[in-house]
Structure 1
Amino acid sequence: MQAIGLCRFSYPALGGFQVEHATIEERIAYLYAEARLEERFQLMEAVALPCLREQTDQEFELIIVIGDSLPRVHSDRLHDLTADMPQVRIVAEPPRPQREVMKELLNAARKDPSKPCLQFRHDDDDAISVDFIERLRQTVTDCPGLIRDNRTVAVDFNRGYVAEVGPDGISATETVRSLYVASLGMYVAGKCGLTIMNFAHEKIGRFMPVISLSDAPMWVRTHNGYNDSRQKKVKPVPVEPLTEAQKAEFSVRFAVRQEHVKQVFSEQ
């Protein structure tokens, strides 16, 4: 079954952000600010991409959506970061309504729309467990009744870590949180044009069955200077430096490694 992921990398959509801007020019200036983009690249390199490189099931695709106005130096840097990942396809789009363009890209990526597929979103500052694709595929196989009777079914791995990363390494706290973007997948039946981008992730359970699994940590959500969802006043999440056991877990489960994080965030 085809598995398709979608990642927005500083794409200047019309709508789709909790941080509001009066004009698209203001949004582009915000998204492409050098300090912000540098942090996004650091997070991409140290957190978001390693877990994809080490997936136990390599049969997936990842569409990375950028703006067609992203400066060439940054576009080239992103292509260089993903050059060793045959699953990645970078697509440049002009500013358009977010859900419209994302739904189009997901449906266009389906090799055979008459057959079912799996879909997931992947934020550029989060990590998923290296067995996410494998477990997503297996979970759908394990639930034939739901799959038979529904056009769409969500799979929510709801245990993970909230983390902060930087030149001093990784600090985190384990938590259970339903319907985060990270490690949330969706089954889509053949001949169904719905996509995971038709739904706000935290509301997806209003529209389809959700299979929830809490047995193991399956995601790392980083809190950083430019989280869109955290630009307004929100309750802080206390984190602690990783123990030696947690460092090993982050390395094995998420391919997020303490020394690599320190190195990436120390480079200027």
Structure 2
Amino acid sequence: MQVIGFCRFSFPAEGGFQVGHATVEERIAYLYAPARIEERFRHFETICLPGIKAQTDPDFLFVILCGDMMPKGHLDRLRNLTADMPQARIVLHPPGPHRKVCQEVMNSVRDMGRPCLQFRHDDDDAVSVEFVALLREAARDCATLIGKHRLVGFDWNRGFVARPDARGLLAAPCVTPYWGVAQAVAVQARVQQTVLNFSHNKLNQFMPTVTFTDPPVYVRGHNDHNDSRQKKHVTQPDLQRLDAEGEEAFRDLFAIDADQVRRAFA
């Protein structure tokens, strides 16, 4: 079954952000502000990409959606970071309604005549190196359920929230359902809706879903530019500095290298 991951890299969508902007031009200025875009690249390079590149099952497509007005220097940097990743496909698209654009792009890269597995992925999050393999296994185990429904959701709820900095990684274990990371949807052939058509925390309101609590499968990035952390009264996790054993566990589970993190955030 075709597996497609979908990552929006500072795409200036209409909607899709909790941070509001009056115009597309304001959103573009916000997304490409030097401090913000530099932080996004650092997280993308050290947190997001390592685990995606190291998947034990390499048979998948990883779509990176960007605005067609992304400055050339940023686009070149993005292409360099993914040059050694045959699964990566960078798609440039003009601004437009968030869900409509994501649906259009997703369906343009999939074989509409076959069912597929789709997962969403933010540019500052990570999944375990076995995520694609676990997703395929879940689909096989739930073949009867998938055969009865247009859409079936899968959600792995155990992982970590983590913050990289010049000293390495701060992290805390968590179990949080429907958080949007390590979440996927099995989509039947010819179905136009995609994983991006649904709010991640409301997935089980629109389709049957299957949840898994073991093993730890994700890292949810914690940083100053998280879209979900820009509002008041956001809970702050109790993050603790990873010791050598914790750093080794992150390398094994997510291919996240604390030394690379220290260099990038120095």
The residue aligned with 1:131 is: 130
Tell me how far 1:243 sits from its aligned partner.
2.8
- State how far apart, in whole Å, the 2-side matches of 1:244 and 1:153 are: 39
Report SS of the residue matched to 2:78: helix
- Aligned residue number for residue 102 of structure 2: 102
Code of the aligned partner of 2:153 = A
* Alpha-carbon distance between aligned partners in 2 of 1:135 and 1:73, rounded to the nearest angstrom: 36
Q: Which runs of 5+ in 2 are unaligned?
A: none
Q: CA deviation at 1:215?
A: 1.2
State the Cα distance separating 1:245 from its structure 2 match: 2.4
SS, match of residue 18 in structure 2 = coil
Aligned residues: 265
The list of structure 1 runs, each at least 4 consecutive aligned residues, that deviate by more than 6 angstroms after superposition, is: none
Match for 2:257: what amino acid? R
How far 1:5 moved relative to its partner?
1.0
Give the deviation of 1:244 after TM superposition: 2.6
Pairwise CA RMSD of aligned residues? 0.8
**TM-score normalised by the chain length of structure 1:** 0.97
- Residues in 2 aligned to 1:159 and 1:258: alpha-carbon distance in whole angstroms: 21
SS in 2 for 1:182: coil
CA distance in 1, matches of 2:188, 2:262: 43
1:1-268 matches, within 5 Å, as 1-111=1-111, 113-233=112-232, 234-266=234-266
| CA distance, structure 1, for counterparts of residue 235 and residue 167 of structure 2 | 23
TM-score w.r.t. structure 2 length?
0.98
Residue type at the aligned position of 1:191: R
Provide the C-alpha distance between the structure 2 equivalents of 1:193 and 1:68, rounded to a whole number of angstroms: 24
Q: Deviations over 1:11-37 (max 9, x none)?
A: 111111100011111111110001101
Deviations 1:187-241 (A, max 9, x none): 0111222210111110010011111111111000111010001001112111001
CA distance in 1 between partners of 2:209 and 2:244 (Å):
34
The DSSP-based 3-state class of the residue aligned with 1:140 is helix
Gaps of 5+ in 1: none
Percentage identity across paired residues of the two chains: 48
1:152-194 deviation line (CA, Å, top 9, x unaligned): 1111010000111111100100000001121101101112222
